[in-house]
Amino acid sequence: MNFKFVRKGIVITAFACATLIPAQQIVATEKPIIAGITDTVKKGEIDSVGLVNAIAEIQKQENTQKTLKIETPEEIKFNEMVKGNSFVMVAEDAALVMESTVEGSASVGKVYRDSVVKITERKEAWCKIETGNVVGYVQTEHLITGKDAVAHVKAILTEVYPETDILTLTKEEIEEAFSVGETVEEEAARLAAEEAARVAAEQARIAAQKEASRRKGVEVVNYAKRFIGNPYVYGGTSLTRGTDCSGFVMSVYKHFGVSLPHSSYSMRRVGHKVSLQDIQPGDIVCFSGHVGIYAGNGQIVNAINERKGIGMSDLYARKVITVRRIF
């Protein structure tokens, strides 16, 4: 067996089957050695079995100093996709892209963490880059390049596709995992759209809250109306045996899990105030020395007096002091 292509002091570890190993799958840290091995394999001077035997013999004689790694076709394809300039990463949360490297130059855009950029011109302190629609200069210290960039790409892909073998990803799937920079105009448009969406969401939230409050108020009114015709009793709190005005409101709301004071004066400070123009069913209407529950259509349901008992009254029959909303 001819071992002259192997440099003394180098131990090579490999896995081989009975077929010849394609030369493009062999990656090594010592190029002259690998050139000799691959040339020998290409010429058919040694097959994979012979290679393994040669390696075994060397391992018996020398201490391991370097390792030969045999990459799979999937690893080779993957590394070719991610090690190019199109996968240079941005290290900072955000970095400005400048129009030129001259001091005082205007910003033309931004790149964000995990943005993909292409370096078109490399200098010591600055790099000219392209990303999305942004073309300009970024300080070199903001970029991750070379092996660090490849490792960063792999870490992100593992996080984005946790249940997928990243070596099987297509170039399109890889690119979808990363963002690109945005121009000053694109950033302004995005921020405006985000603000509009925020305002719309807040308006929808308020509308939903109002609707929920209105529905709850209607429930309160419907429950309160069930006791119309029952007696008025000064100081009472029973919806069936007799109650006064504040006792009526207190007992109705108690049914809905709300604790209120037995005092028409104290009820002026419960819940939160709403204007008479915004009054809705279920709101507590406070008058001087009296209180009731707004039922809609300009009417309140309340414990009126000993003669009338619990019944309906005109909202505007008395001067309204305040309107309080519980829900």
**Would you state the pLDDT for residue 175?**
83
Report all structural domains of the chain as residue ranges with CATH numbers, in order of start: 1-71 (no CATH), 83-180 (2.30.30.40), 213-325 (3.90.1720.10)
**Would you state the pLDDT for residue 282?**
97
**Would you state the pLDDT for residue 325?**
97
- Residue-wise pLDDT for 2-37, tens only, equals 433 333 333 333 333 333 444 444 444 444 444 555
Going by the DSSP 8-state scheme, the letter that residue 106 receives in this structure is P
67 backbone φψ class: left, alpha, beta (φ>0; ψ -120 to 50):
beta
> CA distances (Å), 326 to each of 149, 243, 262, 264, 269, in order?
58, 21, 16, 15, 11
Place of tokens 């919806």: 239
State how far the Cα of 46 lies from the Cα of 57, in Å rounded to an integer: 15
**Would you state the pLDDT for residue 314?**
97
**Would you state the pLDDT for residue 121?**
92
Q: Which residue ranges in the chain fall short of pLDDT 50?
A: 1-34, 64
**Would you state the pLDDT for residue 192?**
98
Alpha helices in 1-94 (DSSP H): 31-42, 48-61, 73-82
**Would you state the pLDDT for residue 55?**
64
